[in-house]
Amino acid sequence: MLSSMNEQAVVRVKPNGPYEVSGGVPVYRREAVESEHGEPLTWATTEELASAALYALCRCGGSARKPFCDGTHARAGFDGAEAAPTDAYAARATAYAGTGVVMEDDRALCEHAGFCGNRVSNVWKMLAGTDDSITRGEVISMIERCPSGALTYRLSADARANEPLLPAAIAAIKDGPLWLTGNVRVERADGEPFETRNRVTLCRCGNSASKPLCDGSHKAAGFRDG
Protein backbone atom coordinates (compact mmCIF):
# COMPACT_ATOMS: atom_id res chain seq x y z
CA MET A 1 0.00 0.00 0.00
CA LEU A 2 1.27 3.47 -0.86
CA SER A 3 1.81 6.03 1.85
CA SER A 4 -0.39 9.13 2.07
CA MET A 5 2.54 11.14 0.71
CA ASN A 6 2.67 8.93 -2.38
CA GLU A 7 -1.09 9.21 -2.88
CA GLN A 8 -0.78 13.01 -2.95
CA ALA A 9 2.32 13.03 -5.15
CA VAL A 10 1.22 13.74 -8.73
CA VAL A 11 3.04 14.86 -11.86
CA ARG A 12 0.61 16.38 -14.36
CA VAL A 13 1.69 16.81 -17.97
CA LYS A 14 0.47 20.22 -19.11
CA PRO A 15 -0.52 20.53 -22.81
CA ASN A 16 2.57 21.79 -24.70
CA GLY A 17 3.89 22.91 -21.35
CA PRO A 18 5.78 21.77 -18.26
CA TYR A 19 5.28 19.04 -15.69
CA GLU A 20 3.18 20.36 -12.81
CA VAL A 21 4.21 18.62 -9.59
CA SER A 22 2.05 18.59 -6.48
CA GLY A 23 2.35 16.86 -3.14
CA GLY A 24 5.66 18.31 -1.97
CA VAL A 25 7.82 15.80 -3.85
CA PRO A 26 11.51 16.53 -3.20
CA VAL A 27 13.76 17.25 -6.18
CA TYR A 28 17.43 16.28 -6.45
CA ARG A 29 20.25 16.31 -8.96
CA ARG A 30 21.79 12.88 -9.55
CA GLU A 31 24.45 11.51 -11.85
CA ALA A 32 25.97 8.17 -12.73
CA VAL A 33 29.30 7.29 -11.16
CA GLU A 34 31.47 5.64 -13.81
CA SER A 35 34.47 3.35 -13.64
CA GLU A 36 37.80 4.16 -15.24
CA HIS A 37 36.42 2.32 -18.29
CA GLY A 38 33.33 4.52 -18.58
CA GLU A 39 30.99 1.89 -17.13
CA PRO A 40 28.14 3.20 -14.94
CA LEU A 41 28.52 1.71 -11.46
CA THR A 42 26.07 3.49 -9.16
CA TRP A 43 24.11 6.70 -8.68
CA ALA A 44 25.34 9.73 -6.73
CA THR A 45 23.13 12.52 -5.40
CA THR A 46 24.93 15.81 -6.01
CA GLU A 47 22.39 18.39 -4.86
CA GLU A 48 19.04 18.70 -3.13
CA LEU A 49 16.98 21.41 -4.79
CA ALA A 50 14.32 23.53 -3.16
CA SER A 51 10.83 22.10 -3.56
CA ALA A 52 7.36 23.26 -2.64
CA ALA A 53 3.80 21.99 -2.45
CA LEU A 54 3.40 22.92 -6.13
CA TYR A 55 6.05 23.61 -8.77
CA ALA A 56 6.69 23.18 -12.49
CA LEU A 57 9.53 21.29 -14.15
CA CYS A 58 10.75 21.99 -17.69
CA ARG A 59 9.99 19.45 -20.42
CA CYS A 60 10.80 21.54 -23.52
CA GLY A 61 14.54 21.54 -22.82
CA GLY A 62 14.89 25.30 -23.15
CA SER A 63 14.49 26.67 -19.63
CA ALA A 64 17.32 28.82 -18.34
CA ARG A 65 16.68 27.55 -14.81
CA LYS A 66 16.54 23.79 -15.37
CA PRO A 67 15.13 21.58 -14.04
CA PHE A 68 12.43 24.17 -13.27
CA CYS A 69 10.22 25.77 -15.90
CA ASP A 70 10.72 29.45 -16.80
CA GLY A 71 8.02 29.72 -19.47
CA THR A 72 10.34 29.14 -22.46
CA HIS A 73 7.94 26.52 -23.87
CA ALA A 74 5.36 29.21 -24.63
CA ARG A 75 7.83 31.54 -26.38
CA ALA A 76 9.38 28.66 -28.35
CA GLY A 77 6.08 27.12 -29.46
CA PHE A 78 6.98 23.77 -27.90
CA ASP A 79 5.06 20.79 -29.32
CA GLY A 80 4.52 18.43 -26.39
CA ALA A 81 2.25 15.97 -28.20
CA GLU A 82 2.24 12.68 -26.33
CA ALA A 83 2.96 9.33 -27.98
CA ALA A 84 3.94 7.13 -25.03
CA PRO A 85 2.30 3.70 -24.72
CA THR A 86 -0.64 3.74 -22.33
CA ASP A 87 -1.10 0.03 -21.71
CA ALA A 88 0.48 -1.85 -18.79
CA TYR A 89 4.16 -2.75 -18.54
CA ALA A 90 3.24 -6.44 -18.17
CA ALA A 91 1.48 -6.37 -21.54
CA ARG A 92 4.60 -5.12 -23.35
CA ALA A 93 7.53 -6.66 -21.50
CA THR A 94 9.44 -9.71 -22.73
CA ALA A 95 10.47 -12.27 -20.10
CA TYR A 96 13.91 -13.88 -20.01
CA ALA A 97 14.35 -16.79 -17.60
CA GLY A 98 17.53 -17.52 -15.68
CA THR A 99 18.22 -19.57 -12.57
CA GLY A 100 16.48 -18.04 -9.56
CA VAL A 101 15.59 -14.92 -11.51
CA VAL A 102 13.26 -13.97 -14.37
CA MET A 103 14.11 -10.68 -16.05
CA GLU A 104 11.45 -8.66 -17.85
CA ASP A 105 12.34 -6.04 -20.44
CA ASP A 106 10.27 -3.34 -22.12
CA ARG A 107 12.50 -1.69 -24.76
CA ALA A 108 9.96 1.11 -25.24
CA LEU A 109 10.94 2.50 -21.82
CA CYS A 110 14.73 2.34 -22.17
CA GLU A 111 16.51 5.66 -21.57
CA HIS A 112 20.00 4.23 -22.26
CA ALA A 113 21.53 4.85 -18.84
CA GLY A 114 23.82 1.86 -19.43
CA PHE A 115 23.59 0.09 -16.06
CA CYS A 116 22.54 -3.12 -17.82
CA GLY A 117 26.03 -3.81 -19.16
CA ASN A 118 29.76 -3.43 -18.69
CA ARG A 119 32.84 -3.85 -20.89
CA VAL A 120 32.66 -7.65 -20.46
CA SER A 121 28.99 -8.54 -20.75
CA ASN A 122 25.38 -7.49 -20.22
CA VAL A 123 22.35 -8.76 -18.31
CA TRP A 124 20.87 -10.60 -21.30
CA LYS A 125 24.04 -12.66 -21.77
CA MET A 126 24.66 -13.02 -18.02
CA LEU A 127 21.27 -14.68 -17.42
CA ALA A 128 22.70 -17.92 -18.80
CA GLY A 129 25.18 -17.98 -15.92
CA THR A 130 22.77 -17.26 -13.08
CA ASP A 131 23.16 -20.79 -11.72
CA ASP A 132 26.20 -19.09 -10.13
CA SER A 133 24.86 -16.97 -7.26
CA ILE A 134 27.56 -14.31 -7.78
CA THR A 135 26.41 -13.73 -11.35
CA ARG A 136 22.76 -13.86 -10.26
CA GLY A 137 23.37 -11.18 -7.64
CA GLU A 138 25.16 -8.97 -10.16
CA VAL A 139 22.27 -9.29 -12.64
CA ILE A 140 19.76 -8.34 -9.94
CA SER A 141 21.85 -5.31 -8.87
CA MET A 142 22.18 -4.11 -12.46
CA ILE A 143 18.44 -4.40 -13.04
CA GLU A 144 17.64 -2.48 -9.85
CA ARG A 145 19.82 0.46 -10.98
CA CYS A 146 17.83 0.85 -14.24
CA PRO A 147 16.16 4.26 -13.72
CA SER A 148 13.32 3.87 -16.22
CA GLY A 149 12.10 0.50 -14.97
CA ALA A 150 12.50 -0.88 -18.50
CA LEU A 151 14.16 -3.80 -16.74
CA THR A 152 12.50 -5.52 -13.78
CA TYR A 153 12.84 -8.97 -12.26
CA ARG A 154 11.02 -11.70 -10.41
CA LEU A 155 12.60 -14.38 -8.25
CA SER A 156 10.54 -17.10 -9.92
CA ALA A 157 8.14 -17.44 -12.83
CA ASP A 158 5.05 -17.18 -10.62
CA ALA A 159 6.36 -14.52 -8.22
CA ARG A 160 5.45 -10.85 -8.27
CA ALA A 161 7.96 -8.25 -9.47
CA ASN A 162 10.64 -7.64 -6.84
CA GLU A 163 11.24 -3.89 -6.70
CA PRO A 164 13.73 -1.90 -4.58
CA LEU A 165 12.10 0.22 -1.88
CA LEU A 166 12.54 3.77 -3.19
CA PRO A 167 11.36 7.11 -1.78
CA ALA A 168 8.81 9.29 -3.54
CA ALA A 169 11.21 11.69 -5.23
CA ILE A 170 12.23 13.29 -8.51
CA ALA A 171 15.83 13.40 -9.69
CA ALA A 172 17.13 15.49 -12.56
CA ILE A 173 19.73 13.15 -14.06
CA LYS A 174 22.77 15.07 -15.31
CA ASP A 175 22.21 15.85 -19.01
CA GLY A 176 19.34 13.36 -18.98
CA PRO A 177 15.70 12.82 -18.03
CA LEU A 178 13.68 13.33 -14.89
CA TRP A 179 13.76 10.17 -12.80
CA LEU A 180 10.64 9.54 -10.74
CA THR A 181 10.81 6.99 -7.94
CA GLY A 182 8.48 5.66 -5.27
CA ASN A 183 5.24 5.27 -7.25
CA VAL A 184 4.69 8.93 -8.04
CA ARG A 185 1.51 9.19 -10.11
CA VAL A 186 1.83 10.62 -13.64
CA GLU A 187 -1.20 12.05 -15.43
CA ARG A 188 -1.29 12.71 -19.17
CA ALA A 189 -2.37 16.06 -20.59
CA ASP A 190 -5.87 14.61 -21.10
CA GLY A 191 -6.10 13.92 -17.37
CA GLU A 192 -5.84 10.15 -17.68
CA PRO A 193 -3.18 8.41 -15.57
CA PHE A 194 -0.28 6.34 -16.76
CA GLU A 195 0.32 3.05 -14.98
CA THR A 196 1.84 4.00 -11.61
CA ARG A 197 5.29 2.45 -11.28
CA ASN A 198 8.20 2.50 -8.86
CA ARG A 199 10.66 3.76 -11.52
CA VAL A 200 9.82 6.10 -14.42
CA THR A 201 11.89 8.48 -16.55
CA LEU A 202 10.30 11.53 -18.18
CA CYS A 203 11.71 13.48 -21.11
CA ARG A 204 13.08 16.94 -20.34
CA CYS A 205 15.07 17.59 -23.52
CA GLY A 206 11.93 18.02 -25.64
CA ASN A 207 13.08 15.52 -28.28
CA SER A 208 11.62 12.18 -27.23
CA ALA A 209 9.42 10.45 -29.78
CA SER A 210 7.58 8.86 -26.86
CA LYS A 211 6.66 11.94 -24.83
CA PRO A 212 6.26 12.36 -21.96
CA LEU A 213 8.49 9.32 -21.41
CA CYS A 214 12.21 9.44 -22.16
CA ASP A 215 13.42 7.36 -25.11
CA GLY A 216 17.10 8.28 -24.90
CA SER A 217 16.89 11.11 -27.46
CA HIS A 218 18.75 13.47 -25.11
CA LYS A 219 22.02 11.74 -25.98
CA ALA A 220 21.73 12.20 -29.74
CA ALA A 221 20.46 15.75 -29.22
CA GLY A 222 23.44 16.63 -27.02
CA PHE A 223 21.16 17.87 -24.23
CA ARG A 224 22.91 19.69 -21.40
CA ASP A 225 21.19 20.93 -18.29
CA GLY A 226 23.79 23.55 -17.47
Q: Where are the domains of the chain?
A: 4-85+171-221, 89-154
Average per-residue pLDDT for the chain:
95
Q: Which residues of 109-145 are buried (b: 16+ CB within 10 A; e: fewer)?
A: bbbbbbbbebeeeebeebbeebeeeebbebbbebbbb
pTM: 0.94
Strands (E) located in 38-148: 40-49, 54-57, 94-97, 102-105
Quote the pLDDT of residue 2.
Answer: 39
**3-state SS assignment for residue 126:** helix
Quote the pLDDT of residue 7.
Answer: 62
- Whole-angstrom Cα distance, residue 213 to residue 211? 5
Amino acid letter for position 121: S
List, for residues 98-139, the tens digit of each pLDDT value: 999 999 999 999 999 999 999 999 999 999 999 999 999 999
- Whole-angstrom Cα distance, residue 84 to residue 77? 21
List, for residues 144-201, the tens digit of each pLDDT value: 999 999 999 999 999 999 999 999 999 999 999 999 999 999 999 999 999 999 999 9
Q: Check if the beta carbon of residue 174 is closer than 8 Å to that of residue 225.
A: yes
List, for residues 51-109, the tens digit of each pLDDT value: 889 999 999 999 999 999 999 999 999 999 999 999 999 999 999 999 999 999 999 99
Quote the pLDDT of residue 213.
Answer: 97
Computed over its alpha carbons, how large is the radius of gyration of the chain?
Answer: 17
Instruction: Compute the Cα dihedral for 72, 74, 78, 79 and give only its sign.
Output: positive
- Rounded to 5°, the CA angle 103-196-77 comes to 110
| CB neighbour list of residue 190: distance below 8 Å, 6 or more residues apart | none
Q: Check if the beta carbon of residue 166 is closer than 8 Å to that of residue 182.
A: yes
